[in-house]
Amino acid sequence: MQVNSKAGFFISLEGIEGTGKTTQSAYLSDRLAALGLGCLLTHEPGDTVIGEKIREVLLHTGHKEMTFMTELLLYNAARAQLLDEKIRPALARGMIVITDRFSDSTVAYQGYGRGIDLELIASLDSIATQCTKPDLTLLFDVDIETGLRRNRKINKIDRLELEDIAFHTKVRHGFNEIARKDTGRVRIIDASLPLEEVQEAAWKVLSEEMKKKGLL
- Shortest separation between residue 188's beta carbon and ligand Z5A, angstroms: 14
- Residue 48 in contact with ligand Z5A, rule: CB under 6 A: no
Residue 138's CB is within 10 A of a number of other CB atoms, namely 26
For ligand Z5A (CB under 6 A), the number of binding residues is 27
Residue 65, classed as helix, strand or coil, is coil
Residue with Cβ nearer ligand Z5A (31 or 216): 31
Site for ligand Z5A (CB under 6 A): which residue of 44, 47, 141, 209? Answer: 44
CA dist 22 to 13, 33, 42, 60, Å? 9, 17, 10, 20
- Site track 160-189 with ligand Z5A (rule: CB under 6 A), x = hit: xx----------------------------
Site for ligand Z5A (CB under 6 A): which residue of 5, 9, 10, 17? Answer: 17
Site for ligand Z5A (CB under 6 A): which residue of 19, 42, 48, 132? Answer: 19
Residue with Cβ nearer ligand Z5A (36 or 196): 196
- Residue 45 in contact with ligand Z5A, rule: CB under 6 A: yes
Q: Taking Cα atoms as reference points, which of 106, 142, 107 lies closest to residue 23?
A: 142
Q: What is the DSSP letter of 8?
A: S
- Residue 158 in contact with ligand Z5A, rule: CB under 6 A: yes
- Residue 22 in contact with ligand Z5A, rule: CB under 6 A: yes
Q: Which stretch binds ligand Z5A (CB under 6 A): 84-92, 106-114, 177-185, 206-214?
A: 106-114
Round to whole Å and give the CA distance between 171 and 39: 29
- Residue 157 in contact with ligand Z5A, rule: CB under 6 A: no
Residue 156's CB is within 10 A of a number of other CB atoms, namely 12
Sorted by sequence, the CB contacts under 8 Å of residue 10 that are 6+ apart come out as: 4, 87, 91, 96, 97, 99, 132, 133, 134, 135, 136
